[in-house]
Each structure stands twice: as C-alpha cells, then as structure tokens.
Chains A and B, each alone.
Chain A
Amino acid sequence: MNTVVCMKQVPDTETLIKVQGTGIATDGIKWVMSPYDEFAVEEALQQKEKMKAGAVTIVSLGPDRAIEAIRTGLAMGADNAVHINDSAYYNAADPFATAAVLAAAIKNLQYDCVFLGKQAIDDDSGQVPAMVGELLGIPVITQVLKLEVAADKSKATVTREVEGGQAVIEVSLPVVLSAQKGLNEPRYASLPGIMKAKKKPVDVKTAADLGVTAGPATAIKEMTLPPARQAGKIIGGDDAAAKAAALAKALQEEVKII
C-alpha cells in the first residue's frame, strides 16, 4: 500500500508564544512535528507494515528548518519526502493555498491513502484535510480513530469520532484521512532509523515547480493573545448558609448564568 502523509513543523507545545505583527516571534522556538501529524505518520507506517509492501511519502510545506521534522518522519520509517519550500505559500498560512500545493504534490505520487493530522496545532484551522480531498477529487474522512484496509486495497473500514460517540464508515480507496488522538501510539525514531534518514531522498519543490498559481484565499489582519485570566473571587460569609446565599446571588446578578 502506498501512502502519503502531509506533515507540518510547528512550535513545540511548551513554547511561550509572543505575538509579532500578524504572526508570532520565532526566535528561541523549538520546532517539532505537529502531534496529530505524528499519529498520521505512525498510521501510514503501521499500514505499510501490515501490508508488507508499499512506500510512505511525506509531503511538507515549510521553510528550510522544516527539513528537521521531515527527517524525523524519515527516521520513524517513511521512505521519501517532498519538501515544498516556497515562502509565498508558507508565509501566507492560508488553508486553501496550503491545500493547493499539497494536492499538486500528491497528484505526482502513487497513493491509496493520504493521511494528515486533524489539525496543525499552531494555526488550528483544521481545513486542510477536507480541501486536499476536494482538490484530489476523492473522499475525505476526518477525526479518524481506527482504520482497517481490505487486503485487496479496494476499500477501508474507518472509525471516526462524532460528538459523544463514534461512527463506522466504509469507504472506497483512495481516500484522505485525518488523524485524531487515539488512532495509535506514535513510535520513537530508532537510532538505526535516525542514521538512515539522511540517505533517504527528499525532493525540494516550489509552487511553480508544481504548477500551482492559486494564491491565498484569506489574510490574517491581526493577531492577539487571549486576555489574561481575571483573578477569582472568594465568597465570604459567616456560615455555610450565608456563603451559599452570597454565591447564588453572585451567579444570578454578576455572572448571570442562573
């Protein structure tokens, strides 16, 4: 089975975010593979191992530094990669422009499944999986928790998360799948894997190389941090009954939720 994994390099979740213009200050940031994309890479590897055949290709849009996350994917076991290194596209941070270059790169590849994380944990747009599916003209299933591919690769049975439960869906291949937490337990890159990663082929492309001209459909106008959390209020009173009365009053009149 051949699979493609779209993977984005993002700031580590422990990063202290500082706003700068319409983006964030990037100095001192530690960059990692987006956690949902780790599930996507792991699933692609597990499916390949189950089928005992095929290749896993990583496709990533990002600047030079994205090669580190790409190498991590290759060290985990992916076979090769396409690095779309085009500043007009990664700077736009626009879901449509991103999906356009990713889909154009994927079209040149052989694939039965395309995996993505359900969202990248930096911009959190969550739109790219659906757009990639639309541009490729194939079905999309998001928030995937479990995947079973038929031995003849004609169809797959997919469990996805829905509000308060799970839905089991049968779908024909090829298909775009976005990974939800719980799909699997991503492996660590082994040391032999790390030592081999450098020798695996990485194809570097620009949007023009891929024949993409579509520009961004959105633009970020402003970036702000959420307001600082306000100090809590301690309800006083002589005894429990008085405190309860004061609390009920505050909830009714100040917070207005009862």
Chain B
Amino acid sequence: MAFQMTSEQEMIRLMARDFARKELEPHAGRRDREAIFPQDSIRKMGELGLMGMMVPAEYGGSNTGAVSYCLALQEIAYACASTAVTMSVANLSTEPLLRFGNEEQKNTYLVPLAQGRMLGAFAVTEPEAGSDAGSITVRAEDRGDHYLINGTKIFITHGAYADVINLIARTDPKKGSRGLSAFIIEKSFPGFSIGSTEEKMGLRASNTVELIFEDCRVPKENLLGREGQGFAIAMNALDSGRIGISSQAVGIARACLDEAISYARQRRQFGRNIGSFQAIQWMIADMATQIEAAGWLALAAADRKDQGLPFTKEASMAKLFASEVANKAAYKALQIHGGYGYTKEYKVERLYRDARVTTIYEGTSEVQRLVIAREMLKE
C-alpha cells in the first residue's frame, strides 16, 4: 500500500494547478454569468496533453494514467467546474476508440482527439432514455454500404463544439440493450445538426445541447466494435467517466472548503470571527474529513484502473460518495457565508450551483447504488 505520489504525478498536479489558477480561475465567474464556452482554454489544454491522458503515446496521448488524470482534473475543477466537465468528457471520448476502435479508426480519430486537435463528445441520453440507457430509440439502419441514422439525443456535453461524437444508437429494435451499437460521427456528416442549447442552473460555461439526426449517412467503417456491442461500449466508457466526475466533485468540494475557511476567518459577528464558533468549526471539520475520504476513493478507483484491475464498483462508489460530498460541502460553505453566500457577489454561489449536477450526470446517485449493489450481490 503506497499513498505516495510519483514525481511525475506531483509535477502533473502542480502544472494543472498552475494552469487552472492562472488561466481559468480569473475568468470563471464571468464565463458562468455570460455562459461562455472556454474554447481558448480548451485548445490550450489540448496542446498540454490534458485531453488524452489515458491514451498511449503511440496514439498521440500523454499516457499519464488515471491517477494523474484524477489529480489534474481536481485542480481544473477547483478553478472552473465547467472546464472540468469539458475535460472529463473529452478524455472519456477517447475510451471507446482506444478499447474498441480498429487501427484505422484509431489513426483517424483517436490520435487527433488525444492530441487535443479535435474535441470529442459522447452521446447516449435521449428524451425517453436517461438512466435507462438500454431503452435508446435513435435508430441506425443498415443500408448496405452505410447506416442511416434518425432520432434525437439530448443533454450532450459540448455537442455544439465537438468535431467527433461517439454515438450509441439502435441497430436491432428487438434486442433491448443488446440491440445497440456505437458509431463515430463527424460533425460534417450530412443529416447531422445541433438542436437547442440547455439553459442550465450550473456549469453554465459548459455547453449542453440536443443532437439531431435526420437521415444522417454514416459510412460502414464508422461502426465502432461490432453491432450489438453499443451498450457494453457505453458502460465501459462510463466506468472511466465516473472517475472523472468523482474528481470534478472533489475539486468543487475543495474550493467550497477553502472559500468557507477564508470567510470564517474574516467575518465578525458577536465581536468575534465566526470561525471561533463551534457550530462553524464542526461544519468545517466535517467538510474537510468527507473531502479527504472522497479524494482517496477517487484515487483508489483510478489506481485500480492503472493496475488493470476491475474498477466498475470502485468508480461508482467514488462517484456516488464524492458527488454527495460536493453537495454537502457546497451547502455548508454557503451556510457559513450567511446571506452573502446567497448573492452573486460571492464565489460560493456559483460553486453551489455547479456542485448540484454531479449527483445526476454519468449515472444518478440512485443508479450508482444500483451498480454497486449489483456488484456486491452477484454470485
């Protein structure tokens, strides 16, 4: 058992921290208010290798492993949770290609995604298929030399800015979750378009849109893996994605804690700093303890991934726990700010809104419990 970062992991963490504090933090508030997608920062992060962290060097990735990914994503999320979800989904989008892509698909798509020259998205959710991803209805019909795709995806992170989209669609209407397949969609494919943009409560600098497929022609060679593998491909990618979201949640929670501490040190009531009241101290102690635990859960899941061990259960536990911790931390941090925390003058107001979605996307807390229980009870 080694709880020690390697020198590379420490350097990656420091670089991400430096980048986040200098490039992201100063603009995070304005981007949130004006709902501006951080395209410029995303490009820079791509050049630094932050968008292909689990991809081997031969495919253009930085091959740092999942632990480094966790550490870097926490630092990015600390400064700007919107940029962090973008980074998380960009990295997640490399997973299906890496695990299931053939050599040609890897060279065409994985390399530019990992190098950050292209941005990848991941499209599973539909209006009638959220937690129940097996009920996807977007249809992909085999037309001999191509597939014809029809239907609508919703809630797709940076769908409007993505060059490449991993799409899960139905190739067999009779087979339930085994009738799904994965496709690689280029934004220029005819019949593909961007629909409406969600007006969100938090993560307002991230882009969340509807994707519309109207007789969209997709070449046969853009089928990822085999027909019927779509659900497995999506679940595999989500396992990794959950490590990302747990790290994002830890980053947001750390920011909440730091805001709470600095406010508690300077706000005076009843002739004293409010940090001297035990009620405030206990909130801070609980936040710090839970965040520490969440951080280790995320790293433990990431470490299993790096070691090539199964990590489905651990990733779900980390995601479940960290996202709930982030929400508790945001609640307490705002509480410590009193009425000021409820205004847009204070950063904690944004953190509170940003934290909220972490228990929802990439599997709600209820779905994580489902996954964990299934793993615990299986014979």
Residues in A lying within 8 Å of B, measured CB to CB: 68, 71-72, 75, 188-192, 194-195, 197-198
Q: Which of B50, B62, B68 has the most CB of A within 10 A?
A: B62
Q: Which residues of A contact B7 (CB under 8 A)?
A: 68, 71, 198
Point out the residues of chain A lying under 8 angstroms from B8, CB to CB.
194-195, 197-198
Q: Which of A68, A188, A198 is within 8 Å of B15, CB to CB?
A: A188
- Known contacts A71-B7, A188-B15, A188-B19; A195/B48 CB under 8 A: no
A-B contact pairs, 8 of them (CB 8 A): A71-B7, A72-B11, A188-B15, A189-B15, A191-B15, A191-B62, A194-B15, A197-B8
**Contact of B18 with A by CB under 8 A:** yes
Contacts of A71 in B (CB 8 A): 7, 11
Interface string of B187-214 (1 = CB under 8 A from A): 0000000000000000000000000000
Query: A190 and B18: CB pair below 8 A?
Result: no
B63 within 8 A of A: yes
Provide the main secondary structure of the chain B interface: helix
In the complex, the answer to whether A191 meets B18 with C-beta atoms within 8 Å is no
A72 cross-chain contacts in B, Cβ below 8 A: 11
- How far, in angstroms, from A75 to B8 measured CA to CA in the complex? 10
Q: A68-B7, A190-B47 are in contact. Are A195 and B15 (CB under 8 A)?
A: no
A194 — which chain B residues lie within 8 A by C-beta? 8, 11-12, 15, 62, 64
Chain A residues with CB below 8 A from B70, complex form: none
A188 CA to B62 CA, complexed, in Å: 14
Nearest 8 pairs of A and B residues by beta carbon: A191-B49, A191-B62, A190-B48, A192-B62, A194-B11, A190-B49, A192-B49, A189-B15
B67 interface residue per 8 A CB criterion:
no
The residue of chain B having its C-beta at the shortest distance from the C-beta of A30 within the complex is B14
Residues on A with C-beta less than 8 A from B49 are 190-192
Q: Which residues of B contact A188 (CB under 8 A)?
A: 15, 18-19, 48
Known: A191-B12, A195-B64. 5 other contacts (CB 8 A): A68-B11, A71-B11, A72-B11, A191-B49, A198-B8
Whether a CB of chain A sits under 8 angstroms from the CB of B53 is yes
Do A192 and B15 contact each other (CB < 8 Å), given the known contacts A68-B7, A71-B7, A198-B8? no
Best-buried of A71, A72, A189, A198 by chain B (most CB within 10 Å): A189
Q: Give the size of the chain B interface in residues (CB under 8 angstroms).
A: 18
B57 CB–A CB distance under 8 Å: yes
A11 to chain B, nearest CB (A): 15
A191 contact set on B, CB distance < 8 A:
12, 15, 48-50, 53, 62, 64, 68
CA–CA, A71 and B12, complex, Å: 12
Q: In this complex, what residue of B is CB-closest to A194?
A: B11
Q: How far is the CA of A68 from the CA of B57 in the complex (A)?
A: 23
Are B63 and A195 in contact, with the CB atoms below 8 A?
yes
Interface hub of B10, B11, B62 (most chain A Cβ within 10 A): B11
Q: Which residue of B lies closest to A68 (CB)?
A: B7
A190 touches B62 (CB 8 A): yes
Which chain B residue shows the least CB distance to A196?
A: B57
Residues of B with C-beta under 8 A to A198 = 7-8
Contact partners of B64 in chain A: CB under 8 A: 191, 194-195
A194-B14 Cα distance, complex, nearest whole Å: 11
Q: In the complex, which residues of chain A have a beta carbon less than 8 angstroms from the beta carbon of B47?
A: 190
Binary flags per residue of B31-70, CB closer than 8 Å to A gives 1, else 0: 0000000000000000111100100010000111000100
B242 to chain A, nearest CB (A): 22
CA distance A75 to B9 in the complex (A): 13
Q: Which residues of A contact B18 (CB under 8 A)?
A: 188
- Shortest CB-to-CB span from B76 to chain A, Å, is 13
User: What's the Cα separation between A189 and B10 when bound, in Å?
Assistant: 13
CA of A194 to CA of B15 in the docked complex: distance in angstroms? 9
Specify which of A188, A191, A197 lies most central, judged by the most chain B CB atoms within 10 Å of its CB.
A191
Closest chain A residue, CB of each to CB of B60:
A192
* Contact partners of B62 in chain A: CB under 8 A: 190-192, 194-195
In the complex, what's the smallest C-beta–C-beta distance from B329 to chain A, in angstroms?
Answer: 24
Nearest CB on B from A113, distance (A):
26
A89 CA to B10 CA, complexed, in Å: 28
**Nearest residue, chain A, Cβ from B44:** A188
Task: Name which of B12, B15, B64, B68 has the most chain A CB atoms within 10 A of its CB.
Answer: B15
Q: Which residues of B sit under 8 angstroms from A197, Cβ to Cβ?
A: 8, 11
Bound-complex Cα distance A72 to B68 (A): 16
Cα-based distance from A162 to B81 in the complex (angstroms): 44
Chain A min CB distance to B185 (Å): 27
**Contact A192/B50 with A68-B7, A71-B11, A198-B7 known, Cβ cut-off 8 Å:** no
Alpha-carbon separation in the docked complex, A195 to B50 (Å): 13
**What is the bound-complex CA distance between A191 and B11, given in angstroms?**
9
Name B1-34 residues within 8 Å CB distance of A: 7-8, 10-12, 15, 18-19
Nearest residue in A to B47 (C-beta to C-beta)? A190
Contacts of A75 in B (CB 8 A): 11, 15
Alpha-carbon distance between A191 and B60 when the two chains are bound, in angstroms = 11
Alpha-carbon distance between A35 and B47 when the two chains are bound, in angstroms: 22
Q: Which residue of A lies closest to B7 (CB)?
A: A71
> Complex formed: what's the CA distance from A192 to B62 in Å?
5
Bound complex: CA of A68 vs CA of B8, how far in Å?
10
CB distance from A2 to the nearest CB of B (A): 26
Complex Cα spacing A209 to B7, Å? 28
Question: In the complex, A246→B62 CA distance in Å?
Answer: 67
- Considering only residues 304-324 of chain B, those with a C-beta below 8 Å from chain A are none
A172 to chain B, nearest CB (A): 36
What is the chain A residue whose CB lies nearest that of B18? A188
Taken together as a complex, chains A and B put the C-alpha atoms of A7 and B135 apart, in Å, by 60
Query: Interface readout for B61-92 with A: 1 if CB under 8 Å, 0 if not?
Result: 01110001000000000000000000000000
B71 CB → nearest A CB, Å:
11
